[in-house]
Every structure is written in structure tokens, then in C-alpha cells.
Chains A and B, each alone.
Chain A
């Protein structure tokens, strides 16, 4: 009799125990007032910011920090599950793409009160602060880093074509004929018979080396592809800039710019969409591409390409011959509204937002750019000693060539709706009629 009762009891226990284990979570023990749990998706930043823990714990006796890292593919699913289960981390790295979704649903703690009470100066950051202001006017994150774009080029190919690094650094561009950028990209292109793109007999269907990588779709903002070009005309994606109600895809300057981008592939100066399945570093590294417009986060990877000398040039000068413009995104450091340890979480993220911590962390890996100018200078000097010249990015930040990638609503839906339309345009399935549709669609999504 006793055994009969015991078996179902054990069975229930067998099922319930793993469930209970699931619900306790791994990183979100928020009830523990002494420990701040902080999450990131970047394995390098996870290691980097451990450099700051000793100093923080020394300044804040009794408070400890536990850093957890999860791969970016699982990160936001895990974070969302943590919000639902009530065991999300006290503070965490966030991407602007999820800012609206999390803020709208009350998962983010406004930082204004903490900033005022502690006297923290947001002026320490030269980029990224505005990226994290929500529609209610409140600040929801401290910038963790920043990123921009540049033109990476194969130095040997550029020299063989008769150009210097200065020629690449001073390329001009306009939406009508592509300026000197178009001339240089065309001359750098070589077909399988060794004929350059601007020479008679060039065969654009059999290209051995493309002058420039594909400038078409990467995302709906084109951060590392078309955006640094079209932005020099004064065009900006959002109207208004922050929390836009429409995206200006139907602007005549934008449409003309996209026509020029598409013409590069049509002429064989740039590869067609889908011609490469590998990334921009592999394209340049393989010798199939002479120049590539890429993200600042790839600078060290480009510099370390085996057998290829890679130079880094600023983005193009616009139609007026003087304007450079690129958008800069920043990841944010946020506090979970449901945390039971918000005061200590604030202490930790504000400590991370000091020049001392940013410098230590950024020097540890060299993989991200700090949003604090002093720390950025230290990283640039350190990388220069290692043979990687980041002055292009330092100068861009200091000279006002960058503007914030302002947040907008429903970023994920925007991406999956707009990107196929871009792809349809660049593969000639659609023509200019796609742009008014994109602008109209953006209004609907931004209002949703």
C-alpha cells in the first residue's frame, strides 16, 4: 500500500524538480541584494568588463558583480523569458532594435532619477546618449559603446591602379554620377582578361576583381553600405529624426542614390546581390574586392587579414566636397524595471560609464569603441601601437561627421518588411515604384 502511494509521489517529484530548477534561472538571482547580475551578448565585452569588477567592488563594499554572457542568437529570447519569469538580470546590454519593445512594456527603468541623485554627468559621453531617450523624454540607458563605418581598401590594389591612400581618403561622391568614388571604383575593377573597368573592351559579366563590395541591402538603414553616401546630401532616414513617423525612402535624393547603387552592380563594378555568401572581410581578404564599405567593429579583423595590406579611409565627401556623414549606433546599458537591486545596479552601470572602467575594458580586447572620448583615445593609441590605425573613427567622432542612429518603433518588423523590398529593387524585380511603397509601409509600421 505504502509503495503504491510512493510511486506516484516520486513520479510527481521527478517531473516537478526539473521544472522547479528551470524556474530558478541561472543568472537572475535578483533577490540577492549584494550581487548585481549583468548580462551581455558579446563574449569579448564579458571578459573586458571583468577588468572593472575589482575596482567597483573596492568602491562599493558588500556589493558583488556577476557577469553572464549568452550568444546573440539566444540573448533576446532569454532576456524576454527572464522578464516573463521574473528572473531577468538587474542590468544588461541592450540593442536599440529592442528599445521600443522593452520600454513600451515597462521593462526598463528610467535613469533620470538616479542620474540626478548621484550627480552623474551624461556629458562624459560624446556619442550615444540621444540614442537612448524614449518618447516620454526620459533616459533609459547609458551608452556602452559606439560604432560607425569606414572604407576599407586593399593597399596593393590601390597602388597598382595608380592611386594613393590620400586619393581614397579624399574621394567625393554625388548621386548623379558617383563622383571620384565611382571613377576610382571603376578603375579598380578588373575583368578576367585583365581589362580595367574604365578601359575599352571591359567585360562586366566576367569580373575578376570588383572595385567595391555590394552597397545594396544590409539592413533597412544601410548603416555600413549606402547610408554614408546618401547622408552626405543631407538626407536623413527618419522624419522627425527621433521616433520618426515616416522613413524618407521616397525622397528624390534617396531614389537617385539607390539608382546609382544599383548601377554599380549592373555595370560589374560591384558584385550583384547574393553573389557572395561570405562577409565583407572575406571578400576583401580573397582579393575579389578592392574596396569595401564596412562597420568600425570590423577594423581589427580587416587589419589582421593574412596576406592583405588593408588601409582604412573615411567615408566619402558629399556633393558639396566638404561634408562627410555617417550614422552611429550605440548599445545601451540598462536596468531592469523588475530588479530588486536597482540602486546597486545603477552603481554598477554608472561605474561602467566612467573613463577609467571604459578604458580598462576597451583596452582588454580592443573589440569595441568606448563612448567616452578619453577612453576612445586610449584604445586608438593602443591599436596604433599594434599596427591598426583607428584615427579615421576618432576624427569622425571629434569632427561632427557622425550623427545618432535615432531609435524608432517596431525595428524588427521594419527590417523584415522593408529589406525584401530593397532586395526586390536591387535584383530588378521592382523599379523606382518600390520607394513610395516603402515610405507608405514605413508609416504604417512606425504607427503600429
Chain B
């Protein structure tokens, strides 16, 4: 009985919407009239929808870039913090971008990256003589959005990794030093293996977060140019809330949900997330 508030909240706000979403994915639902059952029609449409598959490709490209760059920078930042300083002020500064609203960060970055008026491009033009269309060209749109995303979320993941580093006993590094290991060897042979459970969790969270990118894209490129940055969430949002095609929107959301389950499962298995090397 004591868990009733949580249970009711879970059922009302999580279980019911999920089941309802699954049901709607099999319907034609325009919101203002009742849903009509269409069976597998939406799924057949999904298979032949070129924009969906192109959006999926764009999203995967974004996920790979933002996760690889984000994880690498986070781990390096956390290790540097761990080895060199115990200042809480620096830790606070590192996490600051995470506290800024996504819309504010994206708007500010889009101004800074403007090829005519942005400060970043003024520097680049002085160095190379040519500005870069960061958000206006097919080649640069997704890498630019990934970098903004990494800038915004890196502090948060770095602090989680940092917390993981603090659980590693100093005696292990002492033993490493006595054995003559260099800093780089200790990082590869000691730090990374011991961090694996934390890294697995961070990886799962960042992959799921990256798959759900929306605000930065909506503010900076709106999916353009020519769908070059039309990530899946943008496409789903547009179908559902722009065109009131909630049935098909639910189908695409369900497909994304299924993909995330598979990816997360694979990640957990491959990284043996539940096991630790400390034993």
C-alpha cells in the first residue's frame, strides 16, 4: 500500500501512455477524430518511407559522432580532473554547459557559427581565408550539431566518470607505479578496465540521449539543408504535431523504441556492464 502513489503514478504516466502509443501505432489517428484500426498499414508505410530511413541514417551518424567524441572528451577530462585537481570550483565550471537550456545553447552557438557574422567563423577566416558553412551545408550540419551537443553534455558525463574514478582505490595506482607502469599504461590497463561498469552506464545513457536529439536541431537547422540534419525525432515531431498524423508518428516512435532496446541490450552484453574487474 505504501508504494501505491508511486505505482499509480507509474501506471498513469508510463505504462498507460506506452500501451496507448503501441495501440495508436496500428491506427490512423488524426487527434480530433477517434483512431481507426489499420493493422500493419503504418508499418508497411514505414518500410517504404525514404525520409524515415534517411532520417535514421542521419540520426545514427549523429549518435556515432556525438557519443565517440563525447565519451572520449569526458573520460579524458575526468581523468585530468582526477589526477590534477580536487577543486570543486573547476568541477562546477566543467558541468556549467549542462545546466544551460538546450534552446539557449543552440541559439548562441548558431550565432557564433554564422558564416558571415559569427565569431568562430571570423577566426577561421583569419586563419584559412575561407569561412565554413557550419549549419548551412550538408557536409557540416551534423558534425556541427554533434559538437554543440558534446559541448553541452560533456560536463555531465565527465562528472559521472569522475565519480567512478574516485571509487578506484589509490593503492592500485601505487602498485602500478611500483611495477614501473607509465601514466598512459596505467590509464589503459588500470583506469579503463576498472571504470567499465560506469562507462557502460554512461554509454547507454549517451546513446539513448543522442538518439533523442531534438532541441538543438530544431533551433539551429530545422532539419536542413535538404534534410541533411533531419534527425528521427524531428521527423516524428513533424508528422505527429505538424501534420496531426499521430498514428504514423506513434509507429515511428515504436520503431525507435525497439531499436533502442536492441542497442542497449547489445551494449550491456558487449561491455559486460554488470561485472567489475576489481575482483
List chain A positions with a Cβ less than 8 A from chain B: 4, 7-8, 11-12, 14-15, 19, 76-77, 80, 83-84, 101-102, 105-107, 271-278, 282-283, 286, 288, 410, 412-413, 416, 419-421, 423-424, 427, 429
Contacting residues, chain B, for A4 (C-beta < 8 A): 1
Given A101-B244, A275-B115, A282-B117, A427 contacting B110 (CB threshold 8 A): no
Tell me the complex Cα distance, A286–B114, Å: 13
Say yes or no: B242 contacts A412, CB within 8 Å.
yes
Contact A277 B113 (CB under 8 A): yes
Q: 4 extra interchain contacts, Cβ-Cβ under 8 A, other than A80-B31, A272-B136, A412-B243? A: A12-B8, A271-B116, A274-B225, A286-B116
Given A7-B2, A274-B225, A276-B114, do A427 and B138 touch, yes or no (CB 8 Å)?
A: yes
CB neighbours (8 Å) of B110 from chain A are: 277
- B243 lies within 8 A of A410 (CB): yes
Tell me whether A107 and B226 are in contact (CB under 8 A). no
| Cβ of B224 under 8 Å from chain A | yes
* A-binding residues in B (CB < 8 A): 1-2, 4-5, 8-9, 12, 30-33, 110-111, 113-118, 133, 135-138, 220, 223-227, 230, 238, 241-244
By the criterion CB–CB under 8 Å, are B5 and A277 in contact?
A: no
- Given known pairs A8-B4, A12-B8, the reply for A277 and B238 (CB within 8 Å) is no
A278 and B111 contact, Cβ closer than 8 Å, known pairs A7-B4, A105-B32: yes
CB distance from A267 to the nearest CB of B (A): 17
A420 touches B5 (CB 8 A): no
Chain A: which residue is nearest B242 at the CB level? A412
CB-CB nearest 9 A-B residue pairs: A274-B136, A105-B32, A424-B226, A423-B226, A11-B5, A11-B4, A412-B242, A423-B225, A420-B227
Contacts of A84 in B (CB 8 A): 31-32
Q: How far is the CA of A435 from the CA of B118 in the complex (A)?
A: 34
When C-beta atoms are compared, the residue in chain A nearest to B112 turns out to be: A277
Check B241 against A77 for contact (C-beta < 8 Å): yes
Secondary structure at chain B's binding surface: helix, strand, loop or mixed? loop
Provide 26 A-B residue pairs closer than 8 Å at the C-beta atoms, listed in order of the A residue: A4-B1, A11-B5, A12-B4, A15-B9, A80-B31, A80-B244, A101-B30, A101-B32, A101-B244, A105-B32, A107-B32, A272-B133, A274-B224, A274-B225, A275-B115, A275-B133, A276-B115, A276-B116, A276-B117, A277-B135, A286-B116, A419-B224, A421-B226, A423-B227, A424-B225, A424-B226
A280: min CB distance to chain B, Å: 13
A274 touches B8 (CB 8 A): no
User: Given A77-B241, A274-B135, A276-B117, are A11 and B8 also a contact pair (CB < 8 Å)?
Assistant: yes
List chain B residues, Cβ under 8 A from A101. Answer: 30, 32, 244
Closest to A12 in B: B8
The listed residue (A271, A272, A278, A416) touching B238 by CB distance below 8 A is A416
Residues of chain B lying within 8 A (CB to CB) of residue A14: 5
Question: Smallest CB–CB gap between B252 and chain A, Å?
Answer: 14
Contacts A15-B8, A80-B31, A412-B242: A423 and B224 contacting too (C-beta < 8 A)? yes
A413 to B32, CA, bound (A): 17
Chain B's nearest CB lies how many Å from the CB of A178?
23
B116 and A105 form a contact (CB under 8 A): no
Return the chain A residue nearest B32 by Cβ.
A105
Q: Considering the chains assembled together, what is the distance between the CA atoms of A12 and B133 in angstroms?
A: 55
With A80-B32, A275-B133 as contacts: A429 and B4 at CB distance below 8 Å: no
Q: Which of A102, A107, A275, A416 contacts B136 (CB 8 A)?
A: A275
Which A residues touch B9, using CB under 8 A? 15
Which residues of the partner chain B approach A272 to less than 8 Å between Cβ atoms?
A: 133, 136
Q: Known: A4-B1, A84-B31, A427-B138. Contact between A278 and B114, CB under 8 A?
A: yes
Instruction: Kindly provide the distance from the CB of B33 to the nearest chain A CB, expressed in whole angstroms.
Output: 6
A429 touches B116 (CB 8 A): no
Q: How far is the CB of A10 from chain B (nearest CB, A)?
A: 8
How far, in angstroms, from A416 to B5 measured CA to CA in the complex?
A: 43
Given A8-B4, A275-B133, A277-B111, residue A105 in contact with residue B30 (CB < 8 A): yes
Q: A277 touching B1 by the CB < 8 A rule?
A: no
In the bound assembly, the distance between CA atoms of A423 and B33 in angstroms comes to 35
CB distance from A436 to the nearest CB of B (A): 17
A76 / chain B contacts, CB cutoff of 8 Å: 241
